[in-house]
Amino acid sequence: MQALVLAAGKGTRMRSDFPKVLHGILGRPLAGYVLEILEELGITSPKVVIGSGAAQVRSFIEAGGKGRRNPVFILQREQKGTGHAVEMARKYFPGTQEEILIWPGDMPFLKRQTVREFIKRHKESGAEASALSSLQTDPAGYGRILRAGGRFYAIREELDASAAEKKIQEVNSGIYLFKTKPLFDALKKIRPANRKKEFYLTDTIEILSKEGRRLEAFALASEEEARGINSRQDLAAGIQIMKKREVEYHEERGVTFVAPDQTFVEPDVKIGRDTVIYPWCYIEAGVKIGKRCKIGPFAKIRRGTKIGDEAVIGSFVEVSRSRIGSKVLVKHLAYLGDAVVGEGTNIGAGAVTANFDGKNKHVTQIGKKVLIGSNTVLIAPVAVADRARTGAGSVVPRGTKIKKGQVVAGVPARPLAKNKKG
Ligand code: UD1
Ligand code: CA
Per-residue pLDDT tens digits for 58-82: 999 888 765 677 899 999 999 999 9
Residue 229 CB–ligand 1 contact under 6 Å: no
Whether residue 163 lies inside any domain: the answer is yes
DSSP class per residue in 285-342: TT-EE-TT-EE-SSEEE-TT-EE-TT-EEEETEEEES-EE-TT-EEEES-EEESEEE-
**Does residue 209 form part of some domain?**
yes
pLDDT of residue 422: 47
β-strands 24-25, 28-29 pairing: antiparallel
Q: What whole-number distance in Å separates Cα of residue 240 and Cα of residue 248?
A: 12
Query: Domain limits at 366?
Result: 254-415
Rounded to whole angstroms, the Cα distance separating 196 from 411 reads 68
Q: Which sign, positive or negative, has the C-alpha torsion 217, 218, 223, 227? A: negative
Pair 188, 260 in one domain: no
Is residue 74 lining ligand 1, measured as CB closer than 6 Å? no
Check whether residue 47 and residue 174 sit in a common domain: yes
The answer to whether residues 312 and 267 belong to one domain is yes
Query: How far from the centroid of its chain's Cα atoms is residue 323's Cα?
Result: 23
Residue that finishes a domain, picked among 221, 236, 268 = 221
Question: How high is the pLDDT of residue 65?
Answer: 60
Give backbone dihedrals phi and psi of 83, rounded to 5 degrees, phi first. Answer: -65, -40
Main-chain dihedrals φ then ψ at residue 222, nearest 5 degrees: -70, 170
Q: Let me know whether 156 and 299 are in one domain.
A: no
Based on the fold, state whether residues 258 and 217 are members of the same structural domain: no
Pocket test for ligand 1, best of 38, 48, 82 (most atoms within 8 A of CB): 82
Q: Are residues 277 and 136 in the same domain?
A: no
The residue contributing the CA closest to ligand 1 atom 3 is: 143
**Overall number of domains in the chain:** 2
CATH code of the domain covering residue 24? 3.90.550.10
Identify the pLDDT of residue 82: 98
**33: closest CA among 20, 24, 41?**
24
What atom in ligand 1 is closest to the CA of residue 203?
A: 8
Question: Distance from CA of residue 18 to its chain's centroid?
Answer: 17
**257-295 tens-digit pLDDT:** 999 999 999 999 999 999 999 999 999 999 999 999 999
Q: Are 339 and 357 in contact (CB under 8 A)?
A: no
Instruction: Please check whether residue 249 lies inside any domain of the structure.
Output: no
CA of 230 from ligand 2 middle (Å) equals 5
Distance 104 CA to ligand 1 centre (A): 6
Distance 20 CA to ligand 1 centre (A): 11
Write down which residue in 179, 203, 221 finishes a domain: 221
39 in Cβ contact with 6 (< 8 Å): no
Rounded CA separation 375/333 (Å): 9
202 alpha carbon – ligand 1 mean position (Å) = 9
- What CATH number does residue 379 fall under? 2.160.10.10
**Within a domain: 227:** no
Neighbours of ion ligand 2 (CB under 5 A): 106, 228, 230
In a domain? residue 242: no
Give CA–CA dist 299/333, Å, rounded.
9
The pLDDT of residue 63: 82
Question: Could you tell me if the CB of 345 is within 6 A of ligand 1?
Answer: no
Instruction: Determine the distance separating the centroid of ligand 1 and the alpha carbon of 153, expressed in angstroms.
Output: 19
**Do 213 and 341 belong to one domain?**
no
Q: Determine if ligand 1 sits within 6 Å of the CB of residue 47.
A: no
Buried b (16+ CB within 10 A) or exposed e, 205-231: bbbbbeeeeebbbbbbbeebbbbbbbb
Is 301 within the bounds of a domain? yes
84 is catalytic: no
Whole-number Å distance, alpha carbon 26 to ligand 2 midpoint, is: 19
- Regarding the beta carbon of 19 and ligand 1, being less than 6 Å apart is answered no
pLDDT reported for residue 94: 87
Torsion of CA 254, 259, 264, 266, to 10 degrees: 10
Distance CA 398, CA 43 (A): 49
pLDDT at residue 98, as a whole number: 86
The protein residue whose alpha carbon is closest to atom 8 in ligand 1 is 200
Q: Are 114 and 194 part of one and the same domain?
A: yes
pLDDT at 246 (0 to 100): 98
Residue 271 bridge partners (DSSP): 289
104 cis-preceded (ω within 30 degrees of 0):
no
Q: For residue 238, is it within any domain?
A: no
The residues of the chain scoring below 70 in pLDDT are: 65-67, 418-422
Phi/psi at 56 (5° precision): -65, -45
Same domain, 202 and 281: no
Last residue of a domain, one of 200, 221, 242: 221
Residue nearest atom 35 of ligand 1, based on CA coordinates = 230
Name the active-site residue from 23, 84, 332, 362: 332
Instruction: Please name which ligand lies nearest the alpha carbon of 103.
Output: 1
User: Which residue's alpha carbon is nearest to atom 11 within ligand 1?
Assistant: 143
Question: Is 349 within the bounds of a domain?
Answer: yes
